[in-house]
Amino acid sequence: MELIQSANKSNAKFYDIAYSLVKGEDVTSQEIKLIESLIKDKDSRILDVGAGTGRHLFPLINSGYKVDAIEESIEMINEIKRKTNKFNDIKVFNWSFLEKNNQVKEKYDLIVLMWNAIFEIAHIKYELTELFKKLKSLLAVGGKILINIDDLRNIDPAMTGHVLIKEENGKKYEMNWKVLNYNQETKLLESLESFSVVDLKTQKVLQTSKGSIYQTWWGLDDIQEEADEIGLSISVRSISLNEELYLVLR
Ligand SMILES: C[S@@+](CC[C@H](N)C(=O)[O-])C[C@H]1O[C@@H](n2cnc3c(N)ncnc32)[C@H](O)[C@@H]1O
């Protein structure tokens, strides 16, 4: 049997291509505006959990916020490193969020978990409860949490497979997201994410890469239950460019 690595490791070098294809710059900039509207004081501290390659981290730092990040994949962190010569000024914790050795000592005015990050961090109910307890423990007095997820009420996870193509600098990047299995009961989705890079002139395949992704597609009701448990209320926000949920807990 072929053992397939986590896509967050093997495909980290293609993550910027992935989000440019799936999200696009306009969605990211609407998300940044939403985050900024939640936290106007630039001295406030933000924590980006499951930060990927810094899709929100860099724009927020450039806007003047103090932002720290947590990311489980060292390969994603290496991509963050590659993009800046000020990496030493940014606190990026290479930590799997539910692991016991709590590395983060600060408290934050806003914690963001964007693009279904919670689907990857918590796979079973016990982990979801632990995730919310931990988030609460990292919040400063009056702090907020922003959770961005796809909305199970208007999307069928089993049908999320897609092939997306981008041509850039003489190369064709093909991204293939294939659903391998979706369990309606547990909401666990198993998928395979593959990339190939082809030289447009010679049509030669320059690189291929693939990895697996496991997500549990938590719904608004699951998150409501956890928010009640830690004594936070939820308001549902949106952006105009998609139908995803942007849940603000306070
Ligand atoms: C879909 S990506 C979202 C990245 C980023 N938030 C964005 O919006 O572009 C999910 C990220 O969560 C990270 N991740 C998954 N499980 C994690 C965990 N237990 N602790 C920290 N990060 C985790 C993955 O490595 C991946 O970079």
The CATH number assigned to the domain holding 200 equals 2.20.25
Calculate what percentage of the chain has a pLDDT beyond 70: 99
Calculate what percentage of the chain has a pLDDT beyond 90: 94
The predicted pLDDT at position 63 comes to 94
| Ligand 1: residue whose CA is nearest its atom 18 | 96
Is there a single domain that holds both residue 119 and residue 16? yes
| CB-CB contact of 11 with 195 (8 Å) | yes
How would residue 241 be classed by pLDDT, with cut points 50, 70 and 90?
very high
In the beta sheet, which residues pair with residue 6? Answer: 212
The predicted pLDDT at position 124 comes to 98
Among 5, 46, 56, 72, the mutation site with the greatest number of ligand 1 atoms within 8 A of its Cβ is: 72
Is there a single domain that holds both residue 104 and residue 165? no
The predicted pLDDT at position 103 comes to 78
Q: For residue 190, is pLDDT > 90?
A: yes
Is there a single domain that holds both residue 137 and residue 88? yes
36 CA from centroid of ligand 1 (Å): 21
How would residue 25 be classed by pLDDT, with cut points 50, 70 and 90?
very high
Mean pLDDT over the full length of the chain: 96
The predicted pLDDT at position 33 comes to 98
Give me the mean pLDDT over the 106-118 stretch.
97
| Ligand 1: residue whose CA is nearest its atom 27 | 52
How would residue 122 be classed by pLDDT, with cut points 50, 70 and 90?
very high
Q: Residue 1 domain-assigned? A: no
15 CA from centroid of ligand 1 (Å): 11
Is there a single domain that holds both residue 132 and residue 79? yes
Give me the mean pLDDT over the 81-89 stretch.
92
Indicate if the alpha-carbon torsion angle 226, 102, 92, 20 is positive or negative: negative
202 CA from centroid of ligand 1 (Å): 35
Is there a single domain that holds both residue 93 and residue 174? no
Is there a single domain that holds both residue 51 and residue 162? no
Is there a single domain that holds both residue 207 and residue 121? no
Q: Residue 205 domain-assigned? A: yes
| Distance in angstroms (rounded) separating the CA atoms of residues 165 and 138 | 39
Is there a single domain that holds both residue 80 and residue 194? no
205 CA from centroid of ligand 1 (Å): 28
Locate the ligand 1 atom nearest the alpha carbon of residue 55 and give its number: 9
Give me the mean pLDDT over the 151-172 stretch.
96
Number of domains in the chain: 2
116 CA from centroid of ligand 1 (Å): 8
* Residues 6+ positions from 101 with CB-CB distance below 8 Å: 95
The predicted pLDDT at position 100 comes to 85
Range with the lowest mean pLDDT among 43-52, 99-108, 125-134, 235-244? 99-108
Is there a single domain that holds both residue 123 and residue 44? yes
Among 73, 130, 146, the mutation site with the greatest number of ligand 1 atoms within 8 A of its Cβ is: 73
Is there a single domain that holds both residue 224 and residue 161? no
* Residues 6+ positions from 4 with CB-CB distance below 8 Å: 192, 210, 211, 212
How would residue 164 be classed by pLDDT, with cut points 50, 70 and 90?
very high
Q: What residues line ligand 1, using a CB cutoff of 6 Å?
A: 8, 19, 50-52, 55, 70-73, 76, 96-98, 114-117, 120-121
How would residue 175 be classed by pLDDT, with cut points 50, 70 and 90?
very high
Give me the mean pLDDT over the 110-127 stretch.
98
Q: For residue 101, is pLDDT > 80?
A: no
Is there a single domain that holds both residue 25 and residue 126? yes
Distance of CA 130 to the CA centre of its chain: 18
Distance of CA 108 to the CA centre of its chain: 18
Give me the mean pLDDT over the 38-64 stretch.
96
| Distance in angstroms (rounded) separating the CA atoms of residues 181 and 116 | 18
How would residue 1 be classed by pLDDT, with cut points 50, 70 and 90?
low
* Residues 6+ positions from 176 with CB-CB distance below 8 Å: 162, 163, 192, 193, 194, 195
Q: Residue 142 domain-assigned? A: yes
* Domain range enclosing 143: 7-151+218-249
Q: Return left, alpha or beta for 244; rule: phi > 0 is left, psi -120 to 50 is alpha, else beta.
A: beta
Locate the ligand 1 atom nearest the alpha carbon of residue 52 and give its number: 27
11 CA from centroid of ligand 1 (Å): 13
